[in-house]
Structure 1
């Protein structure tokens, strides 16, 4: 009798417990963003209120967002972010797709060695390359420019690895048939193989745009002109203007620059999940 009663409870627990754990993890991860939005709605007198009640007593959202938009060139920061992220993504795809196709589908001497170097390069942090890159850009008089913000990221070994893993699953029979029909390797690469791996392209696009939109380390090194500042560096300039006093306006600015990334992920989430799962990248 006890076993019969406990069996439904055990099945219910097996269904509910994973969902509860995932919900708790999601709540913990989303709490900083919730607190950011909540702080952007509060008046200065309520900033340090630890209450999580979503409706502030003194609603100051309009004032905070107007101040964030007027006391700093927030539109310029956002435009700079679009230019930098878009330029980096375009060049990364142009470089990585042919390289990944060659590693996945062509036979040539040293192919395994090249792929080994690609995997090894994944372990090299950006900070290790910052000094020689900075010296080179300074020598070429290219600091304080969009090119300086984008150039170190034009070659993405992660993109090569991701696309290579995706391209490997493309049927060789279709490629052989395309060659017999007179297709060039570039036409096969861009017109057939990449078209069959659009989820991987969407997944990498999300990875790339989010990473470079949120990057503060490299822009802080090569840019000192406010007119060229991407969103994170712009927020740093804004905090200097605010002298750290008006946290409501600071959080309103942070909400403004975070919203496009959230929207980008929501629009591409299906392709993002499909691209990550089909390539085996965890």
Structure 2
């Protein structure tokens, strides 16, 4: 009688323990964002502040241009996602539903590209952008990421599950391959597109490495780079407003994920069913 209960309780305990470890930094961030300065630098750990310090958020919104940083981040991730979808979907469709010489080799190269971190190519890209003079522009933040091996792989896995007869019927009706991609294949792949969009937006919204290299203009600062302006050279980091800014920067991602959670799970599950 106890064995089924134990088999359910143990995974639940493990999941809750893992969730607690992952969520602890976010809970601590929220705690510091609402604490007055004298309660932040103490030897005791207390998650609940004695009083809510709204001035941390006021400071974050007024002393640095957080709205501009958020806007820059929105423009950057939207531009990256647009071009990634534009290029990844036709490539994935061709790899999944068209027959041509070298298709298997190309897909193998896509899988191999998943193993190459962006940091390996960052210096050549930086030098190339310096030669053509587009550093310190929004294009410098967008162009390195318009090709995406992960996007091609994810969409290809999804398109491989779709019946070939569906596309053959569309060709019989006179539709071009481009029309088939965007009017039939892509609408069917919206769950995969939602999952990919969450991965892409989260990765590039939180990226500090490339914006710190490619831009120096404060007017082009993305949210993570903008948070660096909270550093106080005299007394160290201004922790309260810094954590408040982190909450403001993180909130859009959390809200977007909660709204798209069902589609995200569907896209991940569907993308991994067939090789």
Q: Say whether residues 1:57 and 2:43 are aligned partners.
A: no
- Residue of 219, 222, 245 corresponding to 2:211: 219
State whether residues 70 and 249 of structure 2, in contact with CA within 8 Å, keep that contact through their aligned partners in structure 1: yes
- Residue of 58, 61, 79 corresponding to 1:69: 61
- Residue of 13, 16, 33 corresponding to 1:40: 33
TM-score, normalised to structure 2, is 0.96
How much has 1:20 moved relative to structure 2? 1.4
| Ranges in structure 1 where 5+ consecutive residues have no aligned partner | 1-7
TM-score, normalised to structure 1, is 0.93
Go from structure 1 to structure 2 and tell me whether the alpha carbon gap of 1:226 and 1:110 turns closer, same or farther (over 3 Å shift).
same
Note the 1:151-230 alignment, pairs <5 A. 151-230=143-222
Structure 1 segments (4+ residues) deviating >6 Å = none
- Residue of 9, 14, 17 corresponding to 2:2: 9
Q: Say whether residues 1:21 and 2:14 are aligned partners.
A: yes
How much has 1:48 moved relative to structure 2? 3.0
Max Rg structure: 1
How many Å separate the matches in 2 of 1:143 and 1:57?
47
How many Å separate the matches in 1 of 2:97 and 2:204?
30
How many Å separate the matches in 2 of 1:245 and 1:232?
15
Q: Say whether residues 1:106 and 2:98 are aligned partners.
A: yes
Q: Say whether residues 1:275 and 2:267 are aligned partners.
A: yes
How many Å separate the matches in 2 of 1:79 and 1:243?
29
Q: Which residue of the partner structure matches residue 3 of structure 1?
A: none
Residue aligned with 1:276, SS: helix
- Residue of 105, 116, 122 corresponding to 1:124: 116
How much has 1:238 moved relative to structure 2? 2.6
How much has 1:190 moved relative to structure 2? 1.0
Cα-to-partner distance string for 1:229-281 (whole Å, 9 max, x where unaligned): 00001111232578634211100000000000001110111111111111118
Residue aligned with 2:260, SS: helix
